[in-house]
Amino acid sequence: MLADARFNAFVLGPGFGDVERARAFATMILHAGRHLVLDADGISAFAQEPDRLFTACHASEGGVVLTPHAGEFKRLFPDIAADPSLSKLDAARAASRTSGAVVVSKGADTVIAAPDGRAAINATGTPWLATAGTGDVLAGIVAAQLAQGTPTFEAACAGVWMHGRAAELFGPGLISEDLPQMLSRVHTELDALRRG
């Protein structure tokens, strides 16, 4: 797949399981200069050797997005997570600078931070997103933005916003499989806003 330039963005981690292969695949993708959204098992695979991931992210020519929930954030960035003086925003910025990747620190107040210090706090979403698999869908939405040529920070911000808005449009009873079908409504809303 890496020999074919059309494959320009990858998601690695959801349901992956094999940590050795996850590390190897992530490293290959990053060395090939492709975009990578690292989520779930992909993040956990580097918990014992985060510097290996950070070195590859800093050296990569492709954009890298890490999408940790609070537990994954603590495992990948233990020193940052343990600092009580840091707000979630400050912690995400520190993690992004350390890793060389855009960090999407997930939660009710998802923070998106770039290595250059830019950051955003997402305003969309509902408690119904706290269900299995919704983070996997988020990773896919962000990767889709990257595959279309959206810059890394903007792709992460747009993906998080669309993901949250899709959940708002669906309402109670949401499961992860409901999110993709709501994206067309999100796009319809955005088109209406653009037209004024």
Residue 154 binned pLDDT confidence (cut-offs 50, 70, 90):
very high
Task: Confirm whether 35 is domain-assigned.
Answer: yes
* Average pLDDT for 152-156: 98
**Residue 187 pLDDT > 90:** yes
Q: Of the candidates 148, 151, 1, 157, which has an alpha carbon nearest to the alpha carbon of residue 67? A: 157
Q: Residue 93: what pLDDT?
A: 98
CB 35 within 8 Å of CB 9: yes
Task: Confirm whether 108 is domain-assigned.
Answer: yes
CB 161 within 8 Å of CB 140: no
pTM above 0.85, yes or no: yes
Q: Which residues 6+ apart lie within 8 Å of 20 measured at CB? A: 45
Return the axis-axis angle of helices 19-31 and 50-59, rounded to nearest 10°. 20
Q: How many angstroms separate the CA atoms of 76 and 177, rounded?
A: 28
Beta bridge partners of 9: 35
* Average pLDDT for 148-155: 98
**Residue 164: both structure tokens together:** 């949250």
Task: Confirm whether 14 is domain-assigned.
Answer: yes
Q: How many angstroms separate the CA atoms of 102 and 96, rounded?
A: 6
| Number of folded domains that form the chain | 1
Task: Confirm whether 154 is domain-assigned.
Answer: yes
Task: Confirm whether 1 is domain-assigned.
Answer: no
Q: Of the candidates 66, 65, 6, 60, which has an alpha carbon nearest to the alpha carbon of residue 29? A: 60
**Residue 38 pLDDT > 90:** yes
Domain that holds residue 158: 9-195
- Mean pLDDT across the chain, nearest whole number? 97
CATH number at residue 28: 3.40.1190.20
Write the pLDDT tens digit of every residue in 52-92. 999 999 999 999 999 999 999 999 999 999 999 999 999 99
Q: Residue 2: what pLDDT?
A: 94
**Residue 125 pLDDT > 90:** yes
Task: Confirm whether 134 is domain-assigned.
Answer: yes
**Cβ–Cβ contacts within 10 Å for residue 96, how many?**
27
Q: How many angstroms separate the CA atoms of 150 and 98, rounded?
A: 23
Task: Confirm whether 184 is domain-assigned.
Answer: yes
Write the pLDDT tens digit of every residue in 89-120. 999 999 999 999 999 999 999 999 999 999 99
Q: Residue 196: what pLDDT?
A: 84
Task: Confirm whether 96 is domain-assigned.
Answer: yes
